Amino acid sequence: MMFSKKHLVWLIWYGERRRLRDHGERYAFCFLRHRSSMNFSAKDRQDEVRTALFCNFSPRTLSIATRFVGQRRSRMQGPEPNRVPAMSGLNSRVVADMVRNGDAQSVPIGADYAEIVVVRHGETDWNADGRFQGTLDVELNEIGRRQATAVGERLSREGKISAIYSSDLKRAFETANLIAAACGGLEVIKDPGLRERNFGELQGLQRHVAASVFPEAYKALQSQKTDQEIPGGGESIDQVYQRCTTCLRNISMKHKGERVIAVTHGGILRTLHERACPNQESVKFLNTSVNIFHLSDGDDWVFKSGGDVRHLDQIEYLRTGFGGDRTSG
């Protein structure tokens, strides 16, 4: 079910004027849920409506709604995305070297281990808008496509790639295909084990409103209990850990002595890093950052380097990334 931008503006305005306990964003979502006559006991239907609301109305629309109610910035819109500039003409970005965590160099691969180059997907509009993406299928934006092309060109120069794996979500799969095009046209293998964590009711929401819209789900997200699931079908930390580490281990067993690429998400990268380096501080995993893992017999994991975005020295990108936070990738 589709609504016009004018309709959404009215919904947000009405929610603000009525001074509802929660944000106009929640009012709009609940209204859409009511009008759609969907059975919201089904998780896929929840995701369908949530995606329809947030994907079909851009941050610009929310800005229009903000001006309509006489405010400079809506609580829905949040702070401006903190971007890193590629050129001096852009006033909200800096150079890539300032956030580089490590250098990913091409070296000969030993016969007793697999080198897995794990790449986070390119930028999406929801990344820029600070929304939990989770398992909702959000596409790359134009900047994200440029980032994916750049990392593909870089990886094509750093040694032979035997295979390319990807999360089955659009933002990762499109990134992987752009990398594959630069690496000789390899076929991308989809693996659901690489998909992002399911954030349940929080998916589609901006982080700064999530606590007031779904307080119990947000509390579950912040819980230190690793078996705590997020209401609305969300996964626990233990479930994500088991899923993604098993996936990478299976990939490594198929490719001993080879270099392969796996395109995934920020939350998964953080989990893989915790598996390899349980006592080290997390790396910040920016969009299309290059991260190298060596997996060998005996389930030995070595994190060689990570957070490398040197290929973005001529492309703008978001400063925000996984590493110490719990937002979606």
Annotated binding residues, as ranges?
120-127, 171
User: Other C-beta atoms within 10 Å of 207: how many?
Assistant: 17
| DSSP category for residue 285 | B
**Amino acid of residue 246:** T
φ/ψ (deg, to 5) at 124: -125, 165
- For the chain, the residue count is 329
How many alpha carbons fall within 13 Å on the CB side of residue 312?
31
Rounded to whole angstroms, how far apart are CA atoms 210 and 206? 6
The CA-CA-CA angle for residues 134, 195, 187, to 5°, reads 135
Which of 16, 115, 174, 196 is an active site residue?
196
- Residue 121 appears among annotated catalytic residues: yes
Q: Which residues are annotated as a binding site for substrate?
A: 120-127, 171
Rounded to whole angstroms, how far apart are CA atoms 181 and 193?
A: 23
Q: Which of 16, 23, 115, 121 is catalytic?
A: 121
Residue 185's identity, in one-letter code, is G
* Known catalytic residue at 216: no
CA distance 170 to 264: 11
Residue numbers annotated as active site: 121, 196
